[in-house]
Amino acid sequence: MVCVVFKRKVLKQIMDFKVDFNLSFNSEVQLTLCQCCVFFLGSGGFGCLNGVFFAIVLYFRQVRERLKKDVEKMKLQDPNFRPALVILQVGDREDSNLYITMKLKAAAEIGIHATHMTLPKTATEQEVLHSIKEVNENSSVHGLIVQLPLDSIHKIDTEKVTNAVAPEKDVDGLTSINAGKLSRGDLGDCFIPGTPNGCMQLIKQTGVSVAGKRAVVIGRSKIVGAPMHDLLLWNHATVTTCHSKTADLAGEVGKADILVVGIGKAEMVKGEWIKKGAVVIDCGINHIPDETKASGKRVVGDVHYASAKEQAGFITPVPGGVGPMTVAMLMANTVLSAKRFLEEHQPGKWSISYTQLNLQKPVPSDIVISRSCVPKPIDCMAREVGLLSDEVELYGKTKAKVQLSIIKRLQSQPDGKYVVVTGITPTPLGEGKSTTTIGLVQALGAHMNLNVFACVRQPSQGPTFGIKGGAAGGGYSQVIPMEEFNLHLTGDIHAITAANNLVAAAIDARMFHESTQTDKALYNRLVPLSGGQRKFSPIQINRLKRLGIEKTDPSTLTEEEITRFARLNIDPSSVTWQRVLDTNDRFLRKITIGQSPTEKGYTREAQFDITVASEIMAVLALTSSLEDMRQRLAKMVVATSCSGQPITTEDLGVSGALTVLMKDAIKPNLMQTLEGTPVFVHAGPFANIAHGNSSILADKIALKLVGPDGFVVTEAGFGADIGMEKFFNIKCRYSGLRPHVVVLVATVRALKMHGGGPTNLELLEKGCSNMRKQIENAQHFGVPVVVAVNAFKTDTDAELDLVCSMAKAAGAFDAVRCSHWAEGGAGAVALGQAVQRASGATSNFKFLYDLELPIADKIRIIAQKIYGADDIELLPEAQHKVELYTKLGFDNLPICMAKTHLSLSHEADKKGVPTGFILPIRDIRASVGAGFLFPLVGTMPTIPGLPTRPCFYDIDLDPETEEVNGLF
C-alpha cells in the first residue's frame, strides 16, 4: 500500500513536471520502484537511474518555491518592486519559441515580470544592439536574455551582441566580463551561465562530493563547456576538457568520476566508455530519425542512454533533465540580479565623495572660487545619490534633469528631515540666506557625513544682468558652476516665457477674431472641415462639457449652442494676463498693443511682467505631477466674460500646448555645491508677488533620496514674513510635507540697520526686535527655530554673542554664529549640529488660518499675526474682487500677499518692527491654476528696471577659452 501511494505521488510530480516544461510522453507511463529509487521508462526514451529524474522534479520545485519567497520578501521591502526579465528574440525559430515559452511560464510562476521582445528576421545587427541598449538603460528590468541562435537574414556577430548586454543584467552569464570573473573564481561576483549552473546543482543533488574528483567535460563552447570547466575547477575537481580533436576520447571519458557532455553530436558517448558508477550529465539536444514518431524524429542526448545507464551511477534524461534546470538557474539569476539592484539602490544608501576645499585668505571673488573647484561629472553625482541612469537626462557635464518616474519608484520609502531657511527682513546690505543654505548643506554632508540635498530656486536673468547679481550663494558656499547656474541653466525660464506669451497671444487673437466674424463663420473656423468632416478636438469637447453640452458631433449643435461655444466674449478691461520677459525693462511696465493697421483699430493698454512673476512659474513650483500641471495650467483664469464668467486657458484651447511647452521644465535640475553635495535647482517664483519657493517636486524627490536620517534644506524667498509664511501656508498645504526646522538667517550689520544705525550695541539690541518678531512668526506654525548669525570680519564677539543670546531669549531652539562664506561647510558645522538636534525636537506644525474662512479674514490674520498690523483696509477694487471671487468659488484658496519685502509693513522705509498701522489692500487677483489669491498691498512693480550702471557692464566672454568674465 505504501508503494502504491508513493507511486501515485511520483507519477503526479512527473506529470506536473511534464506540463511545466511541455515535455511530450507518447506512450503509457510505466513506473517501477527499485530499492525506493524511481525508474521511469517510456517509448520517448526518458529515463532516470537511481532517482535522478525524480530529484530533478523535486529540486526544480524547491528552487521555484524558494525564488517565489525571495520575490515576496522583496515586495515586502518595496511594494512597488517586481523583478523583471526581458527575453529578446530575433526571428521565429520553433525550438526558440519552445524554450522561451518555458522561460516565460517559469518566470510567471515565480512572480517575475517577463517580457518577450521580438525582432523580425530582417533585423540588422544595429537594430539588435539598439534594442539591447534600450533594455540596458531601463532600470525596471533586471535580467536580459538574448535567445540564441539569432535567426536573421543578415549577418550578426553573436559575440558582439552578447557582450552588449549590461553585465549586471546578463543573467545568461555570457558576457566576457561575467565569463572572466567565473574563470578567475569570483563566483560570488558574477552570473554563472544557466546550463553549467544547472548541471552543477544536479551533480550536488546526487550527494557525490565534487572536491577531489576527476571530472571530464566534453565540449568547449562558451555556453556550456568552458564555464562548466571553470565551475568544476573552482569546486575543487580535477578537470579535463575534451573536444572533437581529443586523442583517445574514450580513454579520457573512462577516467571520469563526473562526466558532463555538451558536444552537440547525437549519442556520441557510448556506455562502454563510462566508468562504473560515474555521474553523467547529458547537455545534448539532438534529433534523430524515428519512424514511430508522428514528427518522424525523436530527441536524444550526446550520450547513448540505453548503454550508459547500465554503467552510470546517476544519469540525466534527455529531454527533461538539464533543460529544466537551466531555466531554473536563469530564474535564480534574475532574482539574484533584482536582489542586488534593491541592495545597491536602497534609498538613503549613498556612496558619495566630497570635494576638498583649498581655502584662500583673503577670500577671492565668487567666480574665482567657483572656477578653482573642478565639479564632479553630473552623471557621477547622480549615481552617488541613488539616481538610476534612465532617470537622468544630461545637459552637458555639470547639470542634468531628473525624470519624475523616480517618484513612483521611491513612493513607499520614508522621507528625510525637512528644513526651510528664511531670514530677517532684508536690507540692501544682504543677509546671505542663499549662502547660508549652501554652507549648511556642505556642513551636513561633507563634514557631518549625513545625506543632504539643497533645493533652491533658479535665478532670473533680470537680476543677473541688473543689480542683484546671482543666487548661487557666495564665497566658499556656492552652487557650481555658477555661470551655468545663473545663465539659462536648462532653459526652464525660457519655456515659461514661451508658454506665458502663447496665452497672451491667444487672448488677443481670440478677441480680435470674435470682433470681426459672425457666429457661424467663427464656429466654422474653430471647427474646420477636414476630409469633408468637422471634428471637435479633445480640448473643445472639454469646453462643451463645461457648458453643459453633451454632444460630440459638430453638426448637431443648435445655433444657441454654437454661439455659446464659439464666443468667449472676453471683457477687455478684465484681462489680467500679461506678457512676460526675463529682462529688467522698465519701459514695458505699461504699453499699448494692437497699433498695426492689420489689427483694424483693436488696441488696448497692457504691460509686461518679468517671467518669474508669471503664474506659470508658480504652477511649476506648486505642481505634484505632469497630470497635475496639465490640470493647473487648464484652470488658469486670464479674464472674465462680459457676463462676469471666468475665462480659462482651457476655454482658449491652449492648455494642452502649454503642457507640451512645459514638459521638460517640470523636471528638476541637478547640480552640486563646491564641496560636492547635491543640489536641486528648480522653479523661481518671485517672493513678493508669488509664493517665492522652489518646487514641491524637487523637495519630494530629494526627501526620498536622502532617506529617513538625511536632510533636505530648502530656501524661502525674502524674510520670514513673506517667503516662510507662504512656504507654510501655500507650499506645505499643496505638498502635504511638514517641516522639522526653520533656520532664520540674521547678520549684525542688517540688525543694526533695523535698529537705526551702525554705531553701538544699543542700536544692535534695538534692531534685534526684527529678529525677535521673525522668530515669533515661525513659532506661529509650531516649528523649532535655529538662528544662524552669518558673521562678517567686521563683527565683534560682543555683537555676535548679543545676537545669539537675544535669539535664544526670544524662544529660538538655538542660535549659532557661522563663517561658511569664508570657510565653506566647516564654518557651518555648529549650525548643522544645531539643526540636527532641533530636527529631533517636538514639532507641532499648524497652518496660520483655515481655508474655509472668508477672504478678508484670511488676509487680516496674516496682516495682524505676521506683519503686526492693527487691521486691514480693503479699497474699493479689492472689495469688489472679494465679492467676485466669493461668487465664483475661489474664496477657499490660500492667500499669497504681494507686498514690499523691505519692511514688515507696506512701507519699505519702515525698519525694525513697525506698529500701529493699517494694511491697505488695493486689489486682489486670482492665480487659480497655481492655487492662490494674491492681494496687492501698495504699489508693486512686476518688472524691475535697470539701474544707471547695470551688472552687464562687467560681463563678457573670452573667445579663446569661452569663459564668462565679470560675472560677480
Q: Which three cell numbers stand for residue 396?
A: 552637458
Distance of CA 752 to the CA centre of its chain: 45
Q: Please state, as a whole number, how many other Cβ atoms lie within 10 Å of the Cβ of residue 342.
A: 16
Q: Is residue 301 packed enough to be buried (19+ CB in 10 Å), middle (13-18) or exposed (0-12)?
A: buried
SS3 957: strand
Burial 536-550 (b: 16+ CB within 10 A, else e): beebbebbbeeeebe
Q: Which three cell numbers stand for residue 511?
A: 478677441
Distance of CA 591 to the CA centre of its chain: 42
Q: What are the start-end ranges of the E strands in 798-931?
A: 814-818, 871-874, 918-921, 923-927
Distance CA 910, CA 380 (A): 49
Question: In the block, which residue shows the cell 550529465?
Answer: 281
Q: For residue 325, what are the contacts with CB-CB under 8 A and spacing of at least 6? A: 56, 59, 60, 194, 195, 198, 199, 201, 202
Distance CA 690, CA 612 (A): 9
Distance CA 698, CA 681 (A): 8
Q: Which three cell numbers stand for residue 212?
A: 577531489
- Of 608, 632, 609, residue with least CA distance to 621: 632
- The full DSSP string for 473-499 is EETTEEEESHHHHHTTTTSHHHHHHHH
First to last CA, the chain: 94
- Calculate the CA dihedral of residues 60, 64, 70, 76 and round it to 10 degrees: -170
Distance of CA 456 to the CA centre of its chain: 17
Distance CA 888, CA 405 (A): 36
Confirm whether 793 is a catalytic residue: no
- Of 488, 450, 457, residue with least CA distance to 473: 457
Indicate which residue of 7, 103, 773, 846 is catalytic. 103
Name 9's bridge partners.
none
Distance CA 139, CA 128 (A): 19
Name the pairing type of β-strands 785-790 and 814-818: parallel
Residue 749 exposure: Cα atoms within 13 Å on the Cβ side: 12
Cis peptide before 149, with omega less than 30 degrees from 0? yes
Distance CA 359, CA 357 (A): 6
Please state the φ and ψ torsions of residue 841, each to the nearest 5 degrees: -75, 165
Q: Which three cell numbers stand for residue 31?
A: 513506473
Distance CA 894, CA 817 (A): 35
State the DSSP code for 403. Answer: -
- Calculate the CA dihedral of residues 243, 249, 251, 252 and round it to 10 degrees: 0
Asked if 891 and 855 count as a contact pair (C-beta separation under 8 A), the reply is yes
Name the pairing type of β-strands 30-34 and 37-41: antiparallel
Task: Identify residue 509 by its one-letter amino acid code.
Answer: A
Asked if 303 and 267 count as a contact pair (C-beta separation under 8 A), the reply is yes
- Calculate the CA dihedral of residues 8, 10, 15, 21 and round it to 10 degrees: 170
Task: Identify residue 816 by its one-letter amino acid code.
Answer: V
Cis peptide before 193, with omega less than 30 degrees from 0? no
Please state the φ and ψ torsions of residue 593, each to the nearest 5 degrees: -110, 160
Cis peptide before 319, with omega less than 30 degrees from 0? yes
Asked if 139 and 389 count as a contact pair (C-beta separation under 8 A), the reply is yes
Catalytic site residues?
103
